[in-house]
Amino acid sequence: MKKRICVTFLAAVLLLVFASPLSAGKKRPHPSKLKYPSLKITTPESTDLAFDNGLEGFLIEDHEIPVVDVVLLLRTYFPEEEKYGLNEMNRWVIRNGGTEAWPSDKLNDELEFLAASIEVVGGDLSTNFYVNCLKKDLPRVLEILADLVMNPAYPEDKVEMKRKTMLEEIRRQNDEPSRVYRREFFRLMYAGHPFGWRASMASVNAITREDLAACHKKYFYPNNSIIGVSGDVTKAEIIGALDKVFGGWQPAEVTIPEVPPFEKKDSENYNYAYMDINQAYMMIGHSGIKVQNPDRCAINIMNFILGGGSFTSWITERVRSEEGLAYSTGSRYGSNAWAKGVFYAYAQTKSDAYSRALQLIIDQIEKMINEGPTEEEVSKAIDSYVNSQVFDYESKSQVVRRLVFLTFEGRPLDSPERDMEKYAAITVDDIRRVSKKYLHPEMLTVLVVGDEAQFDRPLSDFGSVNVIELKEE
């Protein structure tokens, strides 16, 4: 009875609200007519951090909740190709091997008890420590972090554990076509360049504990590091806390080689790798740009319209929505701070429809060059792309990480704000100009992975084919 009375009362209230003179007399505009102010991204004010041993970084205070986040980035470099995989192994063993004072089990138990976390991730050019903890536990967690950074134990059993894991991953590297076609495409694109290197059984087996220790001795110094702190801590507090745990961390001369330039001479070429599957996995593309390229923002919008804008992009709409040829398809125009990135389009489709999907993707690239988008498409793309950037600023920790990585890349710290100004000024003519300059359908590297016996058309109809043997190691 009470439930019925409550429901009746709620219905009556809603009726009064929507039937009231104020509601009835006010004409609501159509959503398409709503106007919003231009989105502006402003990086929260940060405080520079600098220490006597050469460690530098940033602090953004945030006293809403008693939590502190820390990121510590150390610059590294590619190992020799014969020992490729060393940096991955090094990061894992540092975190999971612990130190003499904090062996693995003790370290993990302590962090679990404190509800804190320390992660060690990165790539060949950096090793990154990410820390999250309650403010009250910051001194203890920083003590553990500093010991991991300065005194990793590299226990032999953990080295062998990671080796076995990496070898097993290599053994199974051809199990999933989604991994195969991406790996082989970037090998083709970055042939002869460290960006194209991949770990092998031989390279992983060649890595020793002494190699890991030598890597640490070569790069792990405060003057080769950038630190970012955000959360419930003041400048005086964090300087005191970091001085206490890193005070004995001595600087040294560190030489980081320049990443070799990537100057691939693009030319039309077709590549095929056999896999016993009833689908075709395709990637096509050519050299991209460096992140410093002044046309980068216009290129991003061009690619958003072409294939990067999910269901609104030309490639997705044509290949997936209209033709039903692919569940996953799209494009990306890559940029990199050290060497050129790669532009590529991709699709996973039925084997007996691969040539149709391939031609449709190429058609959309040529359409972008020859016709270009409409003003409405450009306007919508800019709004969607720019609005998506706000998710990079959801927390102060994300902002601090961005400052750290902008410093690492050698880019101005106000790059995001500059980008917003550039996006706001982009016109249809800009998109048409960059599409003609940076899209090259006549110089595509094409890779198709699948079973050619099931193809609707031989790949050789398009041009001479290079066959890639997927070796089992």
Residue 8 has pLDDT above 70, yes or no: no
Query: Considering the chain, what is the average pLDDT of its residues?
Result: 91
Residue 9 has pLDDT above 80, yes or no: no
Q: What integer pLDDT is reported at residue 391 of this predicted model?
A: 66
Instruction: Grade residue 153 by pLDDT with cuts at 50, 70 and 90.
Output: very high
Task: Name the token pair of 170.
Answer: 């290599």
Residue 173 has pLDDT above 60, yes or no: yes
CA distance 4 to 7: 5
Residue 420 CB neighbour total at 10 angstroms: 18
The structural domains of the chain, with segments of one domain joined by +, span 47-246, 269-468
Residue 262 has pLDDT above 90, yes or no: no
Range with the lowest mean pLDDT among 112-126, 253-267, 403-417?
253-267
Q: What integer pLDDT is reported at residue 24 of this predicted model?
A: 46
Q: What integer pLDDT is reported at residue 139 of this predicted model?
A: 97
Q: What integer pLDDT is reported at residue 31 of this predicted model?
A: 60
Q: What is the DSSP string of 109-166?
A: HHHHHHT-EEEEEE-SSEEEEEEEEEGGGHHHHHHHHHHHHH-----HHHHHHHHHHH
- For residue 333, the surrounding DSSP H or E stretch is strand 326-333
Domain 47-246 in CATH 3.50.30.10? The answer is: no
The pLDDT tens digits for 402-452 are 999 999 999 999 999 999 999 999 999 999 999 999 999 999 999 999 999
Range with the lowest mean pLDDT among 39-48, 381-390, 461-470?
39-48
pTM to 2 decimal places: 0.88
Q: What integer pLDDT is reported at residue 1 of this predicted model?
A: 41
Answer whether 47-246 and 269-468 agree in fold. yes
CATH superfamily of 269-468: Metalloenzyme, LuxS/M16 peptidase-like (3.30.830.10)
Work out the average pLDDT over 200-205. Answer: 97
